[in-house]
Amino acid sequence: MIIPVNVTDFIGVASFSLSLAYNASVFTYSGYQNLHSTLAGGSFVANASGGKVFLTWSNISAATIPTGGLLIELKFNSVPGTGSFTWDTQTPGNCEYADINGLVVYSTWNNGSGTVNSPPAIVTHPVNKTVYASGSTNFSVSATGTGLTYLWQISTNGGSTWTNLT
């Protein structure tokens, strides 16, 4: 699962310290990708412990993402379930931006959640049947998973092409 961290009005930031809590019984932090190119000249560290991801970045010059956008994407492995992603804005030093003089830059934070569905698994497959002109038949299937739908198709050329049935 990829969790994007988006920013707006990211202007004149010389450092940040972020802490994101997650449900460790559903999600396992596995890394990050797509760190915004504006941050490439600084020192960035990401690690996880105890159901939290900690992100820090600093540079000797301030960075600006003038129109906002993607700051970074966090990668998680998961099992089926639902869990929240909560920024730790209560602990001093967490979820803070600072300017080049070390002054805290005002920011707001939006929490979220993620749901991982159970993958589909066919328990009982339908059985092939031959039907003569104007004949009819019934098919059945049994499956487990979340949000299942079924689409019945027919092939008259050994599986090269398929046509949807109603």
pLDDT at residue 163 greater than cutoff 90: yes
pLDDT at residue 86 greater than cutoff 90: yes
pLDDT of residue 127: 87
Find the mean pLDDT for residues 71-75: 96
Distances (CA, A) of 26 to 80, 81, 85, 96, 110: 7, 6, 11, 27, 20
Question: Are the beta carbons of 79 and 116 closer than 8 angstroms?
Answer: yes
pLDDT of residue 53: 96
pLDDT bucket at 164, cuts 50 / 70 / 90? very high
pLDDT of residue 151: 87
pLDDT of residue 15: 95
pLDDT bucket at 16, cuts 50 / 70 / 90? very high
Instruction: Give the best-scoring range by mean pLDDT among 52-56, 126-130, 150-154.
Output: 52-56
Find the mean pLDDT for residues 21-36: 95
pLDDT at residue 60 greater than cutoff 90: yes
pLDDT bucket at 123, cuts 50 / 70 / 90? very high
pLDDT at residue 148 greater than cutoff 90: no
Residue 69: Cβ within 10 Å count: 13
Closest CA to 45 of 34, 36, 29, 32: 32
pTM of the model: 0.75
pLDDT of residue 117: 86
pLDDT of residue 146: 82
